[in-house]
Amino acid sequence: MDPVAAKYIGAGLAAIGMGAAAIGVGLIFGNFLSGALRNPSASDAQFGRAFIGAALAEGLGIFAFLVAILLLFVMK
Amino acid sequence: MAAESQGIDPIHQFNINRLFELHIGGVDASFTNASLFMLVVFLAITALMVLSTSGRHVVPTRLQAAAEMAYEFVASTVHDTAGTAGMRFFPFVFSLFMFVLFSNLIGLIPGAFTVTSQIVVTFAFAALVIGTVIIYGFYKHGAHFLHLFVPSGVTPALLPFIVLIEVISFVARPITLSVRLFANMLAGHITLKVFGGFVAMLLGAGVYSVISPLPLLGIVALSALELLVAFLQAYVFAILTCVYLNDAIHPGH
């Protein structure tokens, strides 16, 4: 296979990982919202934790993004 | 590819241009457009804080209310996350939050340069945060700071793996902290530029130019989303800084 084509295909495959991170972030906020609607008075105190969890889930998607960026711009 | 052929380059906005050439001992210390916008951000924050607190009304003016809101928001975040002992880092977290927030917001003005879309800037912030955590942790707790990597109540058989995972997650922190902010800003601004390119290309496409307002509406919606992202990423950066500082203040789970 042409190495340039393989590079672009690899970057595209790495981008799938960001979709997986999107699922994780969606799960966190979906569950936060369903919990907050059941008990609205407790939601304010857990708002920060929802964001910490979302940031951590997003962090793993960032690794996928890094792999894509490294493939596209750093690998020759 | 089509965008490039018509001379619309979504990456062009992130170019660093030297405004004044300055070389000190072989080091390129030129005043660039990034430096200019850092100065703009700094002046904007200083103006907000100084002007709003010069009057000090009991019933706050609009500017004073904005400054007080930002102050109380960050203060409550720091206090809730890192406790009373964490309040000594409040000036640090507040400066970081305001700089990141204002860089993100000023970067949204068309034609402006987004300082936080440069990995070197965000990584410098992240390195500053993690450096503070490591130095303060060892200064305050000595070798006890290493208990951060050894959670209590773990089966001895699992302990080596847990320690390994904790060390890896600690080492990854500056990378995720910096790349999260950088990637969000980069991706948002590229998306806005690509949608702008759609408008320009549709306008030059004969009869199809009647649907060119559609991507323009998309830009409006995306700008609103970017406004949210700009605030959210500043908040996430601040709250993660607090969480990491909390590890330095209270190591050992």
Domain edges within chain B: 2-249
Q: What is the pLDDT of residue A67?
A: 87
Place of tokens 């590819």: B1
Q: What is the pLDDT of residue B1?
A: 39
Contacts of A48 in chain B (CB under 8 A): 77, 80-81, 239
Q: Are B70 and B78 in contact (CB under 8 A)?
A: no
B179/A62 Cβ within 8 A: yes
Q: What is the pLDDT of residue B45?
A: 93
CA B82 – CA B137 distance, rounded (Å): 13
Q: What are phi and psi of B114, to 5 degrees?
A: -95, 110
Mutation target vs B (from A44, A58, A73; most B CBs, 10 A cutoff): A58
The tally of CA atoms less than 13 A away on the side-chain side of residue A9 is 6
Mutation target vs A (from B100, B175, B179; most A CBs, 10 A cutoff): B179
Contacts of B183 in chain A (CB under 8 A): 62, 65
Q: Are B179 and A65 in contact (CB under 8 A)?
A: yes
State the nearest Cα–Cα gap between A51 and chain B, in angstroms.
7
Please report, for chain A, how many H helices and E strands are present, in that order. Answer: 2, 0
Under the phi-then-psi rule, with left for phi > 0, alpha for psi from -120 to 50, and beta for the rest, what region is B148? alpha
A55/B179 Cβ within 8 A: no
Question: What string of pLDDT tens digits covers the 253 residues of chain B?
Answer: 344 445 567 777 788 888 877 778 777 778 888 889 999 999 999 998 888 888 777 777 888 888 889 999 999 999 988 888 889 999 999 999 999 999 999 999 988 888 998 889 999 999 999 999 999 999 988 888 888 888 888 888 888 888 999 899 899 999 999 999 998 898 888 888 888 888 888 888 888 888 888 888 989 998 998 999 899 999 999 999 999 999 888 876 5
Q: Is A58 on the interface with B (CB under 8 A)?
A: yes
Domain that holds residue A37: 3-74
Could you list the beta-strand ranges (E) of B3-159: 18-20, 23-24, 27-28, 31-32
Nearest-by-CA chain B residue for A54: B236
Q: What is the pLDDT of residue B199?
A: 87
Q: What is the pLDDT of residue B4?
A: 45
Of B80, B172, B236, the CB nearest to A55: B236
**What part of A 8-37 touches B (C-beta under 8 Å)?**
none
CA B17 – CA B100 distance, rounded (Å): 21
CA A28 – CA B190 distance, rounded (Å): 27
**DSSP 8-state symbol, B18:** E
Q: Are A22 and A72 in contact (CB under 8 A)?
A: no
What ipTM, to 2 d.p.? Answer: 0.71
Q: Are B201 and B2 in contact (CB under 8 A)?
A: yes
**Average pLDDT score over residue span A17-34:** 92
Nearest-by-CA chain B residue for A69: B183
Nearest-by-CA chain B residue for A58: B180
Contacts of A58 in chain B (CB under 8 A): 180
Q: What is the pLDDT of residue B7?
A: 56
CA-CA-CA-CA torsion sign (B16, B229, B101, B174): negative
B77/A48 Cβ within 8 A: yes
The tally of CA atoms less than 13 A away on the side-chain side of residue B232 is 16
Q: What is the pLDDT of residue A48?
A: 81
Q: What is the pLDDT of residue B252?
A: 66
Q: What is the pLDDT of residue B8?
A: 67
Q: Are B198 and B205 in contact (CB under 8 A)?
A: no
**DSSP 8-state symbol, A30:** H
Of A51, A52, A66, the CB nearest to B179: A66
Task: Extract the tokens encoding A38.
Answer: 């059941």
**DSSP 8-state symbol, B117:** G
- Residue-wise burial string across A29-59, b where 16 or more C-beta atoms lie within 10 A, e elsewhere: beebeeebeeeeeeeeeeebebbbbbbbbbb
Counting the structural domains of chain A, the total is 1
Q: What is the pLDDT of residue B94?
A: 94
Contacts of A66 in chain B (CB under 8 A): 175, 179
Count of residues in chain A:
76
State the nearest Cα–Cα gap between A21 and chain B, in angstroms.
12
Q: What pLDDT digit, counting tens, does each position of A61-75 carry? A: 888 888 888 888 777
Across chain A, mean pLDDT equals 88
CA B14 – CA B190 distance, rounded (Å): 10
Counting one residue from chain A and one from chain B, the pairs whose CB atoms sit within 8 A come to 31
Q: What is the pLDDT of residue B247?
A: 87
Q: Model's pTM, two decimal places? A: 0.84
Q: If you write DSSP's letter for every residue of B197-226 in order, what string do you get?
A: HHHHHHHTSGGGGGGTHHHHHHHHHHHHHH
Of A48, A52, A65, the CB nearest to B183: A65
